[in-house]
Amino acid sequence: MLTERQGLILSGIIKDYTQLGTPVGSKALANQLPFHVSSATIRNEMAVLEANGLIEKTHLSSGRVPSINGYRYYVDHLNLSKVNTMDDLAVIHKALDMNYHKIDELVQHSANILSDLTNYTALTLQPEQATSRRLKGFRLVALGDQNVMAILVTDNGDTETAQFKIPTGVTGDQLESVVNLINDQLVGQPLSVVLKELKSKIPKEISKYLRSPDSFIDTLDQVLTRATRDRLYIGGEMNLLSFTDQSNISYLKPLYSMLNQSGEISKYLGHSDHGISVQIGSEMSNKLLRNYSVITGTYDVGQYGKGMIAVLGPTRMPYSKVITLVSAFREEIAKRLLGYYKENK
């Protein structure tokens, strides 16, 4: 445990280093601290911090740089000041204040705003869907030449489609019966239930109208699976360029690929039921993320599941500011989604 002064010195080092990006020395720091001691005293305290593994030197006679542990200590124990981000909050409110037709628009838009506010990369994950989303409607549209398009609508305003070929000899009336059957039996059910029924009860029922319902069931299954997968949105991926230092620029491509590989990055987002999780540099298991930090906020939409909003930035990041922002978004999104669900129940 650090003394109060040591804490202030650590905070000072982190603040300076975050702003300037160069190792910070005892003299420069002495002039900025809220109390007066000489640089020699700072040096002594710095030696203690270094012994505790909270700061590091880049070479024997250089200034100090926060270590991963230093950031961690800062985030866990020192980051108490609520930064005044009223301006940012106003921006969030205003930017989110438009009419959304679909949930994914809101979630996607949030990623963009958050990346603009931070100049980092923002990731958002829609609330888990398999259990919370419900089937709202099922339709078929004939495309001609035995091709039919199946359309599935869920309660959050998403649609998924798939094409399939119907066997020869199936009439329009038969198809209509099947559509009615599915709408009657499954509309209003959570997608997870729909998936289950699709493999048990439904095939039998359908076989009343269709001789070989397999291809039909397969298509539906495929659409449902697609509808329930994670939906990740990325905002400001190009900001990666600005905050990745030259030496790591060769990692950018694989990192970018990973971000765009469906479901890949979400494995590494921090989980924290009580709100915000902070992962710093090498704390992350993925090699590509070792030189970055991720602030993840989990938002809870009650029975509709949990989603995430995260910022990917450099380890040298103004943690307090970003944490406040993610926190604000987290609450704001949850509020608006709950509102949305209430309205479209």
Partner DNA sequence: GCTTAGCACTTGAAGGGTATGAGTGCTAAA
Partner DNA sequence: TTTAGCACTCATACCCTTCAAGTGCTAAGC
Q: Smallest distance, Å, CB 56 to DNA?
A: 11
Residue 6 binding a copy of itself, by CB under 8 A: no
The SS3 assignment for 302 reads helix
First to last CA, the chain: 51
Give the number of residues in contact with DNA, rule: CB under 7 A: 25
Q: Smallest distance, Å, CB 102 to a copy of itself?
A: 7
- Kindly report the backbone phi and psi dihedral angles of residue 160, in degrees, each rounded to the nearest multiple of 5, phi listed first: -130, 145
Among residue numbers 245 through 304, which ones bind a copy of itself (CB under 8 A)? 249, 252-253, 256-257
One character per residue 138-157, x = contact with a copy of itself (rule: CB under 8 A): -x-xxxxx-x-x-x-x-x-x
When the beta carbons of 15 and 102 are compared against a copy of itself, the nearer one is 102
Residue located via tokens 């009657």: 184
Q: What's at 289, amino acid-wise?
A: L
Q: Pick what 47 binds: DNA, a copy of itself, none; C-beta below 5 to 8 Å, kind-dependent.
A: DNA
- Among the listed residues 77, 241, 285, 302, the single contact to a copy of itself using CB under 8 A: 241
Residue 133 binding DNA, by CB under 7 A: no
Q: Pick what 85 binds: a copy of itself, DNA, none; C-beta below 5 to 8 Å, kind-dependent.
A: none
Query: Could you give the dihedral angle defined by the CA atoms of residues 147, 227, 189 and 331, in that order, rounded to the nearest 10 degrees?
Result: -150
What is the radius of gyration, based on Cα positions, of the chain?
Answer: 26
Residue 43 binding DNA, by CB under 7 A: yes
Residue 50 binding DNA, by CB under 7 A: yes
Residue 271 binding DNA, by CB under 7 A: no
CA distance 252 to 262: 17
Q: What's at 264, amino acid-wise?
A: E
When the beta carbons of 40 and 241 are compared against a copy of itself, the nearer one is 241
Q: Pick what 64 binds: DNA, a copy of itself, none; C-beta below 5 to 8 Å, kind-dependent.
A: DNA
Residue 175 binding a copy of itself, by CB under 8 A: no
Note whether 297 and 329 are within 8 A (CB). yes
Long-range contacts of 191-197 (CB under 8 A, 24+ apart): 191/129, 191/130, 191/131, 191/133, 191/134, 191/135, 191/154, 191/224, 191/227, 191/228, 192/130, 192/131, 192/228, 194/135, 194/224, 195/130, 195/221, 195/224, 195/225, 195/228
- Among the listed residues 9, 10, 14, 46, the single contact to DNA using CB under 7 A: 46
Q: Smallest distance, Å, CB 67 to DNA?
A: 14
Residue 112 binding a copy of itself, by CB under 8 A: no
